[in-house]
Amino acid sequence: MPFPFSLKRSKNHVKPLHLKSNIITKLSVSTQEEEVETEKEDLEDDPTAETVYLDQETDPDSIVEWELDFCSRPILDVRGKKVWELVVCDDSLSLQFTKYFPNNVINSITLKDAIVSISEDLGVPLPERIRFFRSQMQTIITKACKEIGIKPIPSKRCISLLLWLEERYET
C-alpha cells in the first residue's frame, strides 16, 4: 500500500522564519475573553510551540522503541541564530514530542536530559532502542543514548518519523 506522503525533499526553498517574542498586547478596554482568544491565536501561530502527546489508549510499557530526529530548522531566534528541534515519536505515533533548543546548547548532555525528561513528563519508560536517520547527528545521539542505557540504531527505516516530519512541513 503506497504512503499518502512523499518522502522526497521538496525543491522549494524554505526561507528562515524570524521569531517574535511572545508578547501579548493588552488594550485597556479589552475584555478577558479577547485576551484569552489572543493568547490562543499566538500559540497556534507559534512555529516553536512544543508538541507533547501520548495516546491514552496505548499502554506506555508497550512503547519500547522511539524514532528521533535532532537538527537545525529554518527558524531564527532573537539572536538571529538557527533554532534546533528535537522530534520524537514511536512507530504508531502514539507518542509524539517536539521541543526547540537554541544552537548554543546542542550536545549529548542536552539530548540525554531531554530524552529522560520525555520519559518522565509522559510517564513512559525509557525505550530499549532509539532509531535515527541523520548520520550527521550519530555521535551526539549515540553518546546520549549509551549514557542512559538505550541502544542507538542508525536507520533509514524511521518511516513514522519521516511521514510525520513531511506532514508537519506541508502544514
Which of the pair, 11 or 47, is modelled with greater confidence?
47
* Phi, psi of 153, rounded to the nearest 5 degrees: -125, 105
Q: What is the pTM of this model?
A: 0.73
Topology annotation, domain 50-170:
Nucleotidyltransferase; domain 5 (3.30.420)
- Cβ atoms of 85 and 118 within 8 Å: the answer is no
Report d(CA 19, CA 102) in Å as an integer: 12
Grid coordinates in use for 41? 491565536
Grid coordinates given for 157: 527505516
- Residue 19: predicted pLDDT: 37
Of the two residues 85 and 38, the one the predictor is more confident about is: 85
Q: Does residue 4 surpass a pLDDT of 80?
A: no
In the chain, the amino acid numbered 125 is: P
CB neighbour list of residue 63: distance below 8 Å, 6 or more residues apart: 90, 94, 95, 124, 125, 127
What's the whole-number average pLDDT of the chain? 81
| pLDDT above 90 as % of the chain | 65
Contacts of 40 (CB under 8 A, 6+ apart): none
Interval 60-78 mean pLDDT: 94
Give residue 74's pLDDT band: very low, low, confident or very high (50, 70, 90). confident
Q: What pLDDT, on a 0 to 100 scale, did the predictor assign at position 8?
A: 43
What pLDDT, on a 0 to 100 scale, did the predictor assign at position 167?
93
The mean pLDDT of 37-61, rounded to a whole number, is 76
Nearest CA among 154, 89, 157, 98 for reference residue 124: 89
Residue boundaries of the structural domains of the chain: 50-170
pLDDT digits 0-9 by tens, 106-128:
999 999 999 999 999 999 999 99
pLDDT in tens, 15-39: 333 333 333 333 334 444 545 454 5
What's residue 169's pLDDT?
A: 84
